[in-house]
Structure 1
């Protein structure tokens, strides 16, 4: 784990990506991509597909998979089928990234706002929240099917900050993908790299405060206690 102890702007909100960051879902996503591609007679290079799609919204993912332009209605219909496969696979083995619920509750207890900024659609968001059963609802939830471009564009994170009435520089993004880390940088936000699917080197950046395997590492390092948290 690495983190900076330099004096930084006061923090008001934490924004969490969902897949691979809140929940350990990326292996099931990969399996569902494989099954979906087979149904459509496609042979795919899975690591390459995951590199090109992780963090993108559903329509963008389908255009990447089929390597052609397609109307939005076709793209969203296809991704709905793929995501149903994902939920069928992951539901029976649903697992959070270790320590997430405890960490998020500790953040709330310190007066921080907590938001979700994901490329996942509303069905996947509802699926995750129903399984996690968070004691407190997030202050804002932004999904990838709300008409915003996916990561590495910063729109999803900026919208989450807007809904929490928080400036970008007062937000810390938690992400597991290179596109997500880059989206945080473009948004003018600091980030924490959750290395559930990538290495710290793959998620590096001057704006990255910490690189950890899970939230237990953050809690053990007193990450929240060391933050300069804004007070109202």
Structure 2
């Protein structure tokens, strides 16, 4: 909790595993997709290599060959529909997320979403979360930007919010996303919904928590030096 110096103007949230507890359903959808296409996988290894990457990047990684964007996105459309069908009936947020987001807005912070998920998955999540105020910026993995660990998605979210990267804090649940935040010049908070704090550590990581209820209980937002107009 000692590395929080500096003004904060905005918070940028990864989506899967950070805002919503979707990673188990993503894993299930990969298993089913690969079964249908007769592909043998090591699920843990595939998740490690693909979490945070765009849909097209994931499909090239899975098939281990070059493929056109059209072919890759056609495959990912099938895979992500499987995911939404699986997660829809059991949809849940990472505990405390909507409450934490409301508190952040109360403190005058802008909120952004920076995800490798495509527009359909973003719409699916936002419709179910029913946030009282929509995020100030949402950047997805089907907008032509490289996926994580490249910083482009987070940098674009900051640009759309009109905030300098160094004045943003990223919330992430995956190692590639934590690294993307570092490359973007942003501080990060590790949401340990699927990885340990050690797996998500870094010099720019200022806090770690299993969920947002822990951050609320520790008065995380109140300790930040929030920019004022």
TM-score interval for Structure 1 and Structure 2 normalised by the shorter chain? over 0.9
Q: Which consecutive residues of structure 2, in runs of 5 or more, have no partner in the other structure?
A: none
* Among 95, 110, 115, the residue aligned to 1:98: 95
Cα distance in 2 for residues equivalent to 1:42 and 1:137: 39
Cα distance in 1 for residues equivalent to 2:66 and 2:91: 34
TM-score (norm 1): 0.98
Query: Is 1:133 aligned with 2:130?
Result: yes
TM-score (norm 2): 0.99
Query: How do 1:111-130 and structure 2 match up within 5 A?
Result: 111-130=108-127
* Among 23, 27, 30, the residue aligned to 1:30: 27
Query: Is 1:13 aligned with 2:10?
Result: yes
Aligned positions, number:
229
Cα deviation 1:46-69 (Å, max 9, x = unaligned): 000000000000000000110111
**Residue number in structure 2 paired with 1:195:** 192
Cα distance in 1 for residues equivalent to 2:5 and 2:157: 21
Q: Secondary structure at the match of 1:41?
A: coil
Cα deviation 1:67-124 (Å, max 9, x = unaligned): 1110000000100100000000000000000000000000001000000000000000
Displacement, 1:8?
Answer: 1.1
**Residue number in structure 2 paired with 1:151:** 148
Cα distance in 1 for residues equivalent to 2:107 and 2:205: 21
**Residue number in structure 1 paired with 2:50:** 53
**Residue number in structure 2 paired with 1:223:** 220
Q: Secondary structure at the match of 2:95?
A: coil
* Among 161, 165, 177, the residue aligned to 1:180: 177
Cα distance in 1 for residues equivalent to 2:60 and 2:126: 28
Cα distance in 2 for residues equivalent to 1:38 and 1:66: 13
